Structure 1
Amino acid sequence: MLPIASGNDDRNLIRYVDGGRFDEIMLTGDLTGLNSFLTNAGPNARDNHDLTVLMRAAEAGNLMVVARLLDLGAHPQLTNPHGVTALHIAATAGDDGIIECLINAGAKVDAIDADGRTPLWNAAAHHLPDSAVVDVLLRAGASIKLRDNNGVSPEDML
């Protein structure tokens, strides 16, 4: 199992991939192409922007690809150099199905990025307080009290 990593400390363990090829797979939903792609790159590969393929799938809102990546061993707790996880990205994108999938796979609901923000903070900032995204995170136990580096909490926005 690869270590949970942030930044460059595991750069030698993660192979970098062509983000354009992954985008093509995302658009077509080609799971056979995904399997072939991951045979060479691995489920925790990163693009040239240091986003894992799981983060890219969460950003694209492709639940089928997110689920497949998790089945193949993608780590939902990996971060980019700014401490952002796939769950942060899914919360910003507003996809409650992907959020549930990531939480069920072990994503930390109160993961904190470099700005001190949690996925719930992102969801509260980008979606209506009564959105399904906020509801899923709250049901999973996300804290409304954690404040970011500017002193703002999700509770302040809800």
Structure 2
Amino acid sequence: LITTTTRCPPLPPPEQTALIPEADNNNNSSEHVGRDPAERSTPRPLSPTKLLPFLSGTLSRRPIDADLDALRRRLHHAPRPLKKRSSITEPEGPAGPNIQKLLYQKTTLSHKPGGEGSAAKVDLMVSETSEEPQSPPPLPPRSPFGPVSPPHTKAEDERSILRRVGSDRLTHGMRVKFNPLALLLDSSLEGEYDLVQRVDDPSMPNDEGITALHNAVCAGHTEIVKFLVQFGVNVNAADSDGWTPLHCAASCNNVQVCKFLVESGAAVFATTYSDMQTAAEKCEEMEEDYIQCSQFLYGVQEKMGVMNHGVVYALWDYEPQRDDELGFRVGDCMTVLRREDGAETEWWWARCGDHEGYIPRNLLGVS
């Protein structure tokens, strides 16, 4: 009996030994007896990166590979679906070659018959395309009619209010002027103290009787209110509905402004035209400082004609209509002798000099 021995190839590095089956040292020559010569000539893997050999012969094909090849041949001429973006079958476009398609050919198609040549061809294509610079995208088509001039929209002889570049300034003397009344009302409402001081007559009313003092009181600008009163603005100026600056301050529950206006000669019993309410009745019950503001105004109404020994001052001129009435001028000092009685509630009996009579309380002030 003759036995033959074969030399085993060298083992791979230690980190790859777990991936390749170890050679059995106890194998003897009896394992190779009875094998086919083609089967004994199967090459071993020569590189750690190629653990399994690739055989292009029919012996390395399994039945499942043959079925897949037959299926590929049948589907080769079948109609393809519509292509999508970034598809592996998309041809080369302006942005360069389809890298996904090249990788697909290199990795998948190289294992088919004749794949080595196609893989080399793909490698060559990748190397060639990588060296060439990418071309810019194509330019949009030009208009076949040439340059189009803009439409002529304005006549040449039409005069414009805008001054052209390089032209001389026209000396027609036109200047922009603001209405002093509108400037006064807006500045008092916005709190522009400097603009209010520049107006010649701060007591000017508009068509509805609203003055700068009304706006300053409603906006709560105390400095402007003090300036207007000290300038001589009428503190009892009423608008078209009879609202005085004291009514405005009471509707805002502004106690400090109410005190300042009363001390400056505001009429406490002045009423509006529509609802005949005094400033004390205009206090907002649902707003802050309602109690303080209403108590102050109602307290002034109760003490007027009693405090300061009953001394009051006339805020308007009044001509007597009956024999028992007393006439007076603005600023006259009168002494109230009797307030409300059974006959009259809104008229008080007072003395001015040597004369006595009834005077209307809504025309009086404490100072």
Same fold flag (TM > 0.5) = yes
- 1:17 corresponds in structure 2 to 181
Question: Aligned to 1:91, what secondary structure does the other structure show?
Answer: helix
Q: Say whether the 8 Å CA contact 1:109–1:141 is kept in structure 2.
A: yes
Identity %: 19
Consecutive unaligned residues of structure 1, counting only runs of 5 or more, are 1-15, 147-158
Do structure 1's residue 116 and structure 2's residue 279 form an aligned pair?
Answer: no
Question: What TM-score, normalized by structure 2, do the two folds share?
Answer: 0.31
CA 1:124–1:93 in structure 2 vs 1: closer, same or farther (change >3 Å)? closer
- 1:56 corresponds in structure 2 to 215
- 1:139 corresponds in structure 2 to 299
Question: What TM-score, normalized by structure 1, do the two folds share?
Answer: 0.67
Offset of residue 47 of structure 1: 3.1
CA 1:53–1:98 in structure 2 vs 1: closer, same or farther (change >3 Å)? same
Q: As a proportion of its length, which structure holds more helix?
A: 1
- 2:266 corresponds in structure 1 to 107
Query: Matches of 2:294 and 2:282 in 1, distance apart?
Result: 9
Residue by residue over 1:62-103, the C-alpha shift from the partner in whole angstroms, topping out at 9 and shown as x without a partner, is 111111100000111111111110101110011111111111
Q: Which has the higher contact order (CA 8 A, sep 6+)?
A: 1
- 1:79 corresponds in structure 2 to 238
Structure 2: which amino acid aligns with 1:77? N
CA 1:116–1:53 in structure 2 vs 1: closer, same or farther (change >3 Å)? same
Residue by residue over 1:24-48, the C-alpha shift from the partner in whole angstroms, topping out at 9 and shown as x without a partner, is 3543442x321102x1xx1321134
For these two proteins, the number of residue pairs brought into alignment is: 125
Question: Aligned to 1:79, what secondary structure does the other structure show?
Answer: coil
- 2:190 corresponds in structure 1 to 27
Q: Say whether the 8 Å CA contact 1:25–1:34 is kept in structure 2.
A: yes
- 1:90 corresponds in structure 2 to 249
- 1:13 corresponds in structure 2 to none
Q: Say whether the 8 Å CA contact 1:120–1:142 is kept in structure 2.
A: no
CA 1:119–1:69 in structure 2 vs 1: closer, same or farther (change >3 Å)? same
Offset of residue 21 of structure 1: 4.9
Structure 2: which amino acid aligns with 1:103? V
When Rg is computed on C-alpha atoms for both structures, the one with the higher figure is 2
Structure 2: which amino acid aligns with 1:23? D
Offset of residue 110 of structure 1: 1.2
Q: Say whether the 8 Å CA contact 2:236–2:266 is kept in structure 1.
A: yes
Query: Matches of 1:33 and 1:129 in 2, distance apart?
Result: 31
Structure 2: which amino acid aligns with 1:71? Q
Q: As a proportion of its length, which structure holds more strand?
A: 2
CA 1:107–1:28 in structure 2 vs 1: closer, same or farther (change >3 Å)? closer
Offset of residue 123 of structure 1: 0.9
Query: Matches of 1:124 and 1:142 in 2, distance apart?
Result: 20
Structure 2: which amino acid aligns with 1:138? Y
